[in-house]
Amino acid sequence: MNEVRVFAPNTISNVGCGYDVLGFPLEGLGDEVLVSRRNDSSLVIKEITGADLPINTEKNVATVAIQALLNALDENKGFNISIKKSIPPGSGLGSSACSSVGAVYAVNELLNKPFSRKELVPFAMEGERSSSGQAHADNVAPSMLGGFTIIRSYNPLDIFTIPFPEELLTVVIYPKVEVKTEYAKKILPTEISLKDGIQQWGNMAGLISGLMSNDFDRIGRSLTDSVAVPVRKKLIPHYDEVEEAAMKNRAIGFTISGSGPTTFAFANDSETAEKIRSSCHSVYEKNGIEVLSFVSKINTQGAHIL
């Protein structure tokens, strides 16, 4: 095999109370990364479509992630990389993560799979470090593994997936304004009160238990966050209005996707999901803000070869 084309899905991370530790991939939306062998030892980005991104290999997340993988193997093979992006960075849908994941998954295939999916996650995290200043795993891990993913610990890295209700639908609302993750991380508090901690731990337990026992009311009650959302919602135009539209239309819960500006709601039937989608979409349309909205299931496949 001399070349491989990989699809890596976009993701929703944090999922309310799980800042930097919860995430899941979406269906049908993601990056395509084409990687081919070279005869020399260079990494070369041939083309990036769908977003204006650096082709400088020290700055591009895909090549930063590939380099981390090659360093771990003490390998100096060269590759050409082309990336077709579905969504630009700064969307809150794990755009940089898809490129890093697709790139390391493809190179791993071309090297005859020295690493498992889970073992590839730390390399993709290096891409996140270069784009947001922190090697967070809550976008790369779900994009790589598929399914509802938990990062129980960063040091040592302990990542696993949990079951979730099959009927669970995600309504995604992406107003086309940019929120840089690096900035959205900087504005967060560095400490939280014991009171907020207690609330967060309760919600975290409630959300995971609700997902694992198909208890939609419990999922909804737990989909709140006292740490990131109160600060970040100010960066998202019409946040309160969109939330009100979703909840009026019987969303199970509503919150920010990653660091925003995308928000999402959970629903458990497609008719309700469509009502939520169109009412949230209208809020932005009415205010002259370009918006992309769609309904997706949780993707269980993760990165794969096309």
Active site residues: 128, 181
Residue 162: CB minimum distance to ligand HSE, A: 18
Q: Which is nearer to ligand HSE, 107 or 184 (CB)?
A: 184
Kindly state the DSSP code that residue 182 receives in the 8-state scheme. H
Site string for ligand HSE, 214-253 (x = CB under 6 A): --------------x-------------------------
The answer to the question of residue 139 lying near ligand HSE (CB under 6 A) is yes
As a whole number of Å, the end-to-end CA separation of the chain is 14
Cis peptide preceding 156, ω within 30 of 0: yes
Q: Is 20 in the site for ligand HSE (CB under 6 A)?
A: yes
Only segment of 33-41, 147-155, 159-167, 177-185 that touches ligand HSE (CB under 6 A): 177-185
In the bound state with ligand HSE, the residue whose beta carbon lies nearer, of 34 and 173, is 173
Q: Is 143 an interacting residue with respect to ligand HSE (CB under 6 A)? A: no
Q: How far is the CB of 204 from ligand HSE (least distance, A)?
A: 14
Applying CB under 6 A, does 275 fall inside the site for ligand HSE?
Answer: no
Q: Which parts of 250-269 interact with ligand HSE (CB under 6 A)? A: 258-259
Say how far apart CA 104 and CA 70 lie, in whole Å: 9
- Location of structure tokens 């014991």: 194
Q: Which residues, at least 6 apart from 61, have a Cβ–Cβ distance to it below 8 Å? A: 96, 99, 100, 103, 127, 128, 130, 131
Element (H, E) at 199: helix 194-212
Contact positions with ligand HSE (CB under 6 A) in 180-199: 181, 184-185
Shortest Å, Cβ 117 to ligand HSE: 20
Q: Does position 26 bind ligand HSE by CB under 6 A? A: no
SS3 content of the chain, % helix, strand, coil (to 5): 40, 25, 35
Beta carbons of 107 and 80 less than 8 angstroms apart = no
138 binds ligand HSE (CB under 6 A): yes
Binding to ligand HSE in span 76-115, by CB under 6 A: 92, 94
Closest to ligand HSE by CB, 138 or 243: 138
Asked whether position 14 contacts ligand HSE by CB under 6 A, the answer is yes
**Nearest-angstrom CA–CA distance, 83 and 66:** 13
Minimum distance, C-beta of residue 286 to ligand HSE, in the bound complex (Å) = 27
How open is the CA angle 174-177-180, to the nearest 5 degrees?
A: 100
Residue with tokens 């960075």: 89
Rounded Cα distance between 20 and 12, Å, is 11
Separation between Cα atoms, residue 6 and residue 202, nearest integer Å: 38
Task: Give the residue with the Cβ less far from ligand HSE, 132 or 249.
Answer: 132
Binding segment toward ligand HSE, per CB under 6 A, in 61-69, 131-139, 162-170, 291-299 = 131-139
Residue nearest to ligand HSE (CB): 258
Q: Which of these ranges, 38-46, 132-140, 149-157, 196-204, lies near ligand HSE under the rule CB under 6 A?
A: 132-140
Cβ neighbour number for residue 266 with a 10 Å cutoff: 25
Q: Could you tell me the two tokens for 240?
A: 């309160």
Name the nearest CA neighbour of 16 among 288, 296, 277, 253.
253
CA distance linking residue 197 with residue 159, whole number of Å: 22
Cβ proximity to ligand HSE: between 114 and 133 the closer is 133
Binding residues vs ligand HSE (CB under 6 A)? 13-14, 19-20, 92, 94, 136, 138-139, 181, 184-185, 228, 258-259
